[in-house]
Amino acid sequence: MAVVKKGKPELETEPPDDQPMTVFEHLGELRTRLIRSLLGIIPGITVAWIYHQELLDFLVAPLAKAWVKLGGFGKPALNFAGVADPFIAYIRISVICGFIFASPWVAYQMWAFIAPGLYSREKLYAIPFALASAVFFVGGAFFGYAQVFPIGFERLLSMAGVLPSHVVTLQPTIMIDEYIGFATGMLLAFGVVFEVPVVLTFMAFAGVVNWKQLLGFSRYWILISSILAAVLTPSPDVGSMLMMMAPLVVLYYISVAIAYFIGPKVGAAEDSAELDAESDSAGLTRPK
């Protein structure tokens, strides 16, 4: 009679359908994902171009509100020096908005690129992580637009006015290309920064880091958040920086909490290893 040995099931040491790929095959897969991402952005760019004037009006609304609130500068206006500057500005807006519209598709292509190296359990979460990436990216951009821009522009415009000598006046003359470049760059930066919880959660889910490591790194993250807030906020005052820094710190600790529930359970194993080390050093053997 054959004897079947019972024991713990073997852990997966590598993905079940993992196939070795050369560097050129990886580059080919990356090229395919990039092409699919670009093809997915084209419809978004088309829709954004149809409503390019409405999108520009939406983008300059925080500046216009701060302009009117301060008063003394006349009617809000965007200026341009080159004949093609408005056209280029509209193209830039259409491309950025098209990318935002297609962000779920782009995020899915990103996760699909790394999926062959994941276990079957992890592949099931590719779509949820892709959607979360898109939500946090758009949410970060909207947070910058709705919360940081109004206060930042108000502080910046408040620096204009008559100098103490009452001879020279600082008068804002905002060029459309410079404003579009500044505003879209800031929104993209906010969107990328707000991806931190998604990246940390995925790293914890994949077992790359655990909640204790993230908690230990939190002191450095607070410093990094303060630097990012100082760089990203358009206004140099402390209030605007705190408005940017607070969500980054809160989102990080939320990631730590999520990693505690879905990440590797290392607490008990580490405690057991420490006890074993102490027992061995004392010449004792712990009962199994």
**pLDDT score for 121:** 62
Q: What is the per-residue pLDDT for 288?
A: 45
How much is the pLDDT for 70? 86
One digit per residue, pLDDT tens: the chain, 288 residues? Answer: 444 444 444 444 455 555 566 777 778 878 888 898 888 899 989 999 999 999 999 999 999 999 998 877 788 889 999 899 999 999 999 998 888 888 888 878 877 777 666 666 666 677 777 788 888 888 888 988 998 888 888 888 888 888 888 788 888 889 999 999 889 888 888 888 888 888 888 888 777 888 888 888 888 999 988 888 888 777 666 777 787 788 888 888 988 888 888 777 665 445 444 444 444 544 444 444
| Predicted local distance difference test score (pLDDT) of residue 11 | 46
CB 184 within 8 A of CB 92: yes
Distance of alpha carbon 117 from alpha carbon 119, whole angstroms: 7
- Residues recorded for the chain: 288
Task: Retrieve residue 70's tokens.
Answer: 């301060």
Tokens of residue 90, six digits:
């509209």
In sequence order, which residues have a C-beta less than 8 Å from that of residue 91 and are 6 or more positions away?
49
Q: How far apart are the first and last CA of the chain?
A: 31
State residue 279's pLDDT score. Answer: 44
